[in-house]
């Protein structure tokens, strides 16, 4: 593993040095093409050296290095002028131009899909396209069929670290695959071939070769505008989760002739794009044509449930049953309370505030991930690593995979694309700029994921490292961070709810804690990845403590060794020293939580029950004030049990009520939360 790390570091340095050199290199006219045979030899040597043809059952390492800004074209095809390879310059994005060429070599996938292309003059060049596949299991030969014609918007000719030249595409919306180019013009008006292509599409579909089926149906539709082929292609698009394309085909199908399958597939497309009321309308039209359609009735029932959920009416028993490690994605609708709004907040950008006074334990948001990836879905086949030399960051596994997921979803769902583009992408991007949802701006999307992604902390995933994950959620991304946030989130696989932890005043900002309540140093380091310094009351108090903060953190470095001894005298001594470091403040003394907890346990073991009770009470108060609800709940439960033991039923009942009041009133969700808490 050390040699692998050293090899990666060497590649990293080589690429970085090459990019520094390229930045100072002026664009120069592309040299003449090398022969196909020389290209072929280089590719074979590359595959051999990179262990490309390693055993299929071995785990492959997929590494990407970002060292340049990624280009995306914002122009339409009719705004671009054609260019050929011999007119192109190395180290230049050819703005306002497009290149047309054929795939001249069987494509293969490393991290990008690579092949050779040949233009109309017979010139050859290497070609690499990123983010075209939704995962690394997809066959690149299907995505870029040998001999097919492609068009590339504003092509970028790049000089690689090995001095070779390649055309690089980062945005899938800059690439068009011309499916119809292989139909001879002599037969394009001959309807005899329509049935051949439609039948071919049906055969591909029955073999679950949905991409080939789509291409065959497309050829058929070129020869004849037919309800059947539009409906068939809509279903094939559905299977590939290309929901917008499926919607457009189903819509054409019912416009040509109202038909049951067309309306049903129209409904499914809209449902999957989370347009539940519009989806309901289409399923009802389907029933008008066939009142016995059981599938349509089932979908109507689902639509009604989703519409109820958009009003904040959730069946939490359903959420619990249908989530967890066996159900990583749950079918549920989003909800946003009309008591909150998103506004511009000085020095913070966008944020969420209360429009009215909001009581404690009020549901504010229910949100399904726009996209999520779990390590378990690929980790036995791939290890994914992404180095970014521009901002010196490293992403691994689910964060890398979720970028592919997110881009694929955005290509196929304009409603989702609009939501993603409205999220914060860093200081270099205007979040109010209205993006065309059909354009995939990879640079922007990478930044959006970097600033907005987080993991589903479903407590059922904690002991399962393989369920580590990364996702992007819409409304939750607008909640700014505070280490002592006034709201809390609970995950059910890829679905999260956010509710208030205390009473909220009108106009007050609603905040979430992005991370557990740890030391100031740990919190500050973790928050650097989000590009801001926390200004919450707790952080300001910690900074104000200065040397006392450093002294406090030094005292707590060896706490894990001390906890094994359960010596109350040693814990009392440590606690008094920590109290001294808090002498200049009267709140948020969170570093006392662990020592006081261990002291309480030690006192119980020493049978000093009254003292244990007193310190457990202090622990409850500190934990509650600092927002550590799990610790506060656990303390309250222990205190109620202790009160029962010493025959103080009124005290016991009060502690049970205090424990109960920490969480929402729904019995299912209350049980769900309390089951996740490990007793002290």
What mean pLDDT is predicted for residues 482-495?
Answer: 96
Domains of the chain: total: 3
20 belongs to a structural domain: yes
Residue 338 lies in a domain: no
529 domain-assigned: no
The average pLDDT across 366-370 equals: 98
Q: Do 172 and 198 share a domain, yes or no?
A: no
Look at residue 217 and tell me if it is in a domain.
yes
**62-93 core/surface letters (b: 16 or more CB in 10 A; e: else):** bebbbbbebbbbeeeeeebeebebeebebbbb
**Nearest in space to 425 (alpha carbons), one of 23, 156, 70:** 70
Query: Is pLDDT at 281 greater than 90 in this prediction?
Result: yes
- As a whole number of angstroms, the distance between CA 625 and CA 582 comes to 15
Which is nearest to 613 in space by CA: 634, 595, 638? 638
Which residues, other chains included, contact 67 with Cβ-Cβ below 8 Å and sequence gap of 6+?
A: 15, 16, 19, 389, 390
**Where is average pLDDT lowest: 276-285, 305-314, 364-373, 651-660?**
651-660
| Same domain membership, residue 122 and residue 219 | no
* CA atoms of 492 and 514, how far apart (whole Å): 17
Total residues belonging to the chain:
680
Convert the pLDDT of each residue in 23-40 to its tens digit.
778 899 999 888 888 888
| Residue 197 and residue 141 share a domain | no
Domain range spanning residue 600?
538-675
Beta-bridge partner residues of 274: none
pLDDT band at 579 (very low <50, low <70, confident <90, very high): very high
Residue 323, domain member (yes or no) = no
pLDDT in tens, 133-145: 988 888 999 999 9
Q: Look up residue 172 and give its two tokens.
A: 């899938």
pLDDT at res. 11: 66
Question: Of 134, 166, 181, which marks where a domain is finished?
Answer: 181
Domain finish residue from 181, 200, 223: 181
CB 322 within 8 A of CB 464: no
Is-contact 217 201, C-beta < 8 A? Answer: yes
Residue 233 shares a structural domain with residue 156: no
* Domain assignment of residue 449, yes or no: no
In a domain, 107, yes or no: yes
User: What does the CA dihedral 220, 221, 226, 229 come to, rounded to 10 degrees?
Assistant: 60
- CATH code at 272? 1.25.40.10
Same domain? 191 vs 146: no
The predicted pLDDT at position 679 comes to 64
Rounded to the nearest integer, the mean pLDDT of the chain is 90
Q: What pLDDT does residue 566 have?
A: 78
Claim to verify: residue 30 and residue 145 sit in the same structural domain: yes
Q: What is the CATH number of the domain that holds 88?
A: 2.40.50.140
pLDDT digits (tens, 9 = 90+) for 394-440: 788 999 999 999 999 999 999 999 999 999 998 889 888 889 999 99
Domain boundary among 181, 197, 221: 181
Kindly report, residue by residue over 239-253, the tens digit of the pLDDT.
999 999 999 999 999
Same domain, 171 and 263: no
Query: Please, which residues have CB within 8 angstroms of residue 505's CB and are 6 or more apart in sequence?
Result: 354, 357
Q: Are residues 148 and 243 in the same domain?
A: no
Per-residue pLDDT, 1: 44
Beta-carbon count within 10 A of 554 CB:
10
383: left (phi over 0), alpha (psi -120 to 50) or beta: beta
- Say whether both 107 and 214 belong to one domain: no
Across 7-11, 314-318, 462-466, the highest mean pLDDT is recorded for 314-318
- Are 231 and 146 within one domain? no
Residue 403 lies in a domain: no
Percent of the chain, pLDDT > 90?
65
| Claim to verify: residue 208 and residue 65 sit in the same structural domain | no
- DSSP lists the bridge partners of residue 89 as 29
Structure tokens at 469: 């994950």
User: Which of 286, 309, 289, 310 has its CA nearest to residue 298?
Assistant: 286
Give the neighbor-by-neighbor strand order of the sheet with 363-368.
335-336, 363-368, 495-500, 487-492
Residue pLDDT, tens place only, 648-674: 788 889 998 988 888 888 888 888 888
Average pLDDT estimate for 332-360: 96
Give 145-202 pLDDT, tens digit per residue.
999 999 999 999 998 767 789 999 999 999 999 866 455 655 555 677 888 999 999 9
263 shares a domain with 133: no
């Amino acid at each position: 593993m050390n040699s692998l790390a050293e090899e990666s570091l060497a590649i990293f340095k080589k690429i970085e040095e090459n990019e520094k050199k390229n930045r100072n290199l002026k664009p120069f006219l592309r040299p003449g093409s090398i022969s196909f045979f020389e290209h072929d030899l280089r590719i074979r040597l590359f595959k051999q050296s990179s262990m490309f043809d390693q055993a299929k059952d071995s785990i492959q390492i997929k590494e990407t290095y970002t060292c340049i800004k990624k280009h995306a074209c914002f122009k339409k095809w009719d705004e671009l002028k054609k260019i050929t390879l011999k007119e192109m310059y190395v180290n230049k994005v050819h703005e306002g131009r497009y290149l047309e060429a054929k795939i001249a070599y069987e494509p293969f996938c490393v991290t990008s899909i690579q092949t050779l292309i040949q233009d109309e003059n017979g010139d050859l060049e290497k070609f690499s396209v990123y983010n075209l596949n939704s995962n690394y299991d997809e066959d690149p030969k299907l995505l870029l069929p040998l001999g097919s014609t492609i068009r590339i918007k504003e092509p970028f000719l790049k000089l690689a670290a090995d001095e070779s030249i390649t055309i690089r595409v980062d945005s899938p919306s800059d690439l068009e695959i011309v499916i119809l180019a292989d139909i001879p013009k002599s037969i394009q008006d001959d309807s005899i071939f329509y049935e051949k292509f439609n039948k071919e599409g049906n055969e591909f579909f029955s073999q679950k070769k949905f991409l080939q089926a789509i291409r065959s149906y497309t050829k058929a539709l070129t020869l004849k505008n037919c309800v059947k082929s539009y409906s068939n292609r809509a279903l094939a698009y559905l299977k590939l989760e290309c929901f917008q394309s499926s919607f457009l085909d189903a819509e054409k199908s019912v416009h040509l002739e109202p038909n049951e399958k067309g309306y049903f597939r129209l409904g499914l497309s809209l449902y999957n794009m989370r347009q539940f009321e519009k989806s309901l309308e289409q399923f009802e039209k389907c029933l008008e044509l066939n009142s016995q359609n059981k599938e349509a009735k089932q979908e109507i029932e689902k639509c009604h449930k989703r519409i109820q959920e958009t009003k904040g009416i959730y069946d939490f028993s359903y959420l619990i049953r249908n989530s967890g490690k066996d159900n990583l994605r749950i079918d549920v609708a989003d909800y946003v309370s009309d008591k909150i709004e998103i506004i511009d907040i000085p020095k913070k950008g966008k944020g969420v505030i209360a429009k009215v006074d909001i009581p404690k334990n009020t549901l504010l948001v229910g949100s399904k991930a726009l996209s999520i990836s779990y390590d378990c879905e690929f980790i036995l086949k791939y290890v994914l690593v992404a180095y970014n030399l521009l901002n010196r960051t490293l992403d691994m596994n689910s964060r890398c995979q979720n970028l592919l997921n997110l881009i694929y979803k955005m290509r196929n769902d304009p409603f989702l694309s609009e939501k993603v583009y409205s999220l914060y992408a860093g200081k270099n991007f205007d979040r109010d700029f209205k993006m065309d949802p059909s354009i995939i701006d990879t640079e922007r999307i990478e930044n959006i994921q970097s600033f907005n992604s987080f993991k589903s902390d479903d407590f059922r995933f904690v002991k399962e490292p393989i369920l580590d994950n990364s996702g992007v959620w819409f409304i939750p991304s607008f909640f700014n961070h505070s280490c002592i946030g006034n709201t809390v989130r609970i995950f059910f696989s890829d679905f999260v709810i956010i509710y208030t932890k205390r009473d909220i005043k009108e106009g007050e900002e609603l905040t979430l804690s992005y991370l557990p309540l740890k030391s100031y140093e740990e919190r500050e380091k973790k928050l650097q990845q989000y590009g801001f310094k926390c200004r919450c009351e707790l952080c300001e108090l910690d900074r104000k403590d200065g040397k006392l903060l450093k002294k406090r953190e030094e005292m707590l470095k060896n706490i894990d060794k001390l906890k094994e001894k359960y010596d109350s005298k040693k814990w009392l001594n440590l606690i008094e020293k920590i109290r001294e470091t808090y002498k200049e403040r009267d709140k948020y003394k969170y570093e006392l939580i662990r020592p006081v907890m261990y002291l309480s346990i030690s006192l119980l073991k020493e049978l000093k029950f009254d003292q244990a009770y007193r310190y457990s009470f202090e622990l409850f108060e500190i934990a509650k004030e600092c927002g550590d609800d799990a610790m506060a709940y656990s303390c309250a439960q222990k205190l109620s049990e202790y009160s029962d033991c010493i025959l103080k039923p009124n005290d016991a009942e009060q502690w049970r009520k205090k424990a109960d009041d920490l969480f929402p009133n729904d019995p299912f969700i209350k049980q769900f939360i309390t089951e996740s808490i490990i007793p002290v």
